[in-house]
Structure 1
């Protein structure tokens, strides 16, 4: 591993390159925070993919891309004299110190749950009007549901046992089935949302990230379906002309190969 001196030297090198690109590269000169925004989101998702794939070399590369964006935004901020990279670093340092009074103050904590509760209470003392104020509106619904539940749990609004949450899941499923019988699409959608929300809550009690769990299933399904397509191609037979029984044979083969 690199020494702290080497780490700081590497960061200084990145800042120097950013200065040069912003001054000399036609593309970099044109960028604004608004034009970078969607690229930053894309890079973050690519980092997430690399983490799920447990590809540490790719994680390193994607972290570099995300770091570049942080430096880029800071460079733009310095040009308008609003903030620079030092302000960004000092801001997060101050926040971390203030939010960890059990490390930098005289507050005692028993466990991780105490830390989370202190974190949310401190945010309210800092001027937040609501515990939910920090949940980004543009988050995907599944991720947002998980964050909402984590936030309210941080101030004690939570179930006590996983069994209670599972009972809630069963209750929501019964309500969904009842609405399906009536056939009202709006009511069905509402109850389906309640089922998903309660399942996300249950995942939290099982200490499972629902977004990661669903993405793993997406990857698993994609891999098996791709195997099915490859087999159909070798038989020179379009999937649309195969029976479900024929396709299921290859599907089961794909499941066995994955074990």
Structure 2
């Protein structure tokens, strides 16, 4: 079977003067869209539990990492081995309950520790690392390119780690109701900029609620997207099988098809 060394050789070959013209033209910035696409394809395969496809998509994602490493090597920034070395060192440092002496291959019996304690230690170590890099804010290093829902959750989590957070979900629910009232007022005022601002505040508060409920907002919305798609496709099927045109149906009739789709899903679950 081919190995990681074979993959690294292949990448270097693709970028060589005798390699692939497309690969030769690529830069760090030009392959970013492909990287994002591969990440979402991995997530899609995971959510569908399509394990053979997942293996293929993970390979495509790994190729993106190898591509960046090759570009960095050519620019004399770092090599693939440097990525591995830094990653292993960081994971050893962040798992002192597994590697108490900081050595990878030391065989030692460790006391049991629950996941909550692991997570708490992980965050403490990360904060120490940020301090050593002389950051100016706990919000530093939250990537600007993250999807907005994910970035909102990370910003809120960073703030919560230093005590800036609601005490419980009731406080967040109250905040959501407050934001809804402010959004209603902005809509009545008719100023687009105010409506945009208040709509964003409402979304931000809803992300906060998901975080307090231990839910991933991106995953929650993706689940709702799939549910909407499923039910709307059922509505389309009913329309096509009967009159064949949405314009001949009232909203009430279309909503009846929607409710049928919901009932079918409930019946399937039982």
Which TM-score band (shorter chain)?
0.7 to 0.9
TM-score, structure 1 as length reference:
0.85
- Aligned equivalents of 1:178 and 1:236: distance in 2? 41
Task: Indicate whether 1:76 and 2:83 are aligned.
Answer: no
Q: Is the 8 A contact 1:135 1:144 kept in 2?
A: yes
Q: Is the 8 A contact 1:120 1:154 kept in 2?
A: no
Match of 1:203 in 2: 210
Match of 2:176 in 1: 169
2:43 to 38, 44, 48: 48
Match of 1:252 in 2: 259
Matches within 5 A, 1:135-146: 135-146=142-153
Instruction: Quote the offset at 1:89 in angstroms.
Output: 0.9
Aligned positions, number: 252
Instruction: Quote the offset at 1:102 in angstroms.
Output: 4.8
2:161 to 137, 154, 162: 154
Task: Indicate whether 1:13 and 2:43 are aligned.
Answer: no
Structure richer in helix, relative to its length: 1
Match of 1:28 in 2: 23
Structure 1 alignment gaps of length 5 or more: 1-5
Shift of the 242–236 alpha-carbon distance from structure 1 to 2, 3 Å rule, reads same
Query: More deviation in 197-206 or 92-101?
Result: 92-101
Structure 2 alignment gaps of length 5 or more: 102-112
Structure with larger RCO (C-alpha < 8 A, sep 6+) = 1
TM-score, structure 2 as length reference:
0.82
- Aligned equivalents of 2:30 and 2:234: distance in 1? 39
- Aligned equivalents of 2:149 and 2:12: distance in 1? 38
Instruction: Quote the offset at 1:76 in angstroms.
Output: 1.8
Shift of the 178–57 alpha-carbon distance from structure 1 to 2, 3 Å rule, reads same
Which deviations, in whole Å up to 9, do the C-alpha atoms of 1:232-257 show, x marking residues without a partner? 22225211222123222322222233
Q: Is the 8 A contact 1:21 1:29 kept in 2?
A: yes
Matches within 5 A, 1:225-244: 225-244=232-251
Match of 1:3 in 2: none
Match of 2:200 in 1: 193
- What is the CA RMSD across the aligned residues, in angstroms? 2.5
Instruction: Quote the offset at 1:223 in angstroms.
Output: 1.6
- Aligned equivalents of 1:31 and 1:111: distance in 2? 40
1:132 to 139, 152, 160: 139
For 1:133, what is the secondary structure of its paired residue? coil
Shift of the 64–251 alpha-carbon distance from structure 1 to 2, 3 Å rule, reads same
Instruction: Quote the offset at 1:67 in angstroms.
Output: 0.3
Instruction: Quote the offset at 1:203 in angstroms.
Output: 0.4
For 1:32, what is the secondary structure of its paired residue? coil
For 1:215, what is the secondary structure of its paired residue? helix
- Aligned equivalents of 2:210 and 2:55: distance in 1? 29
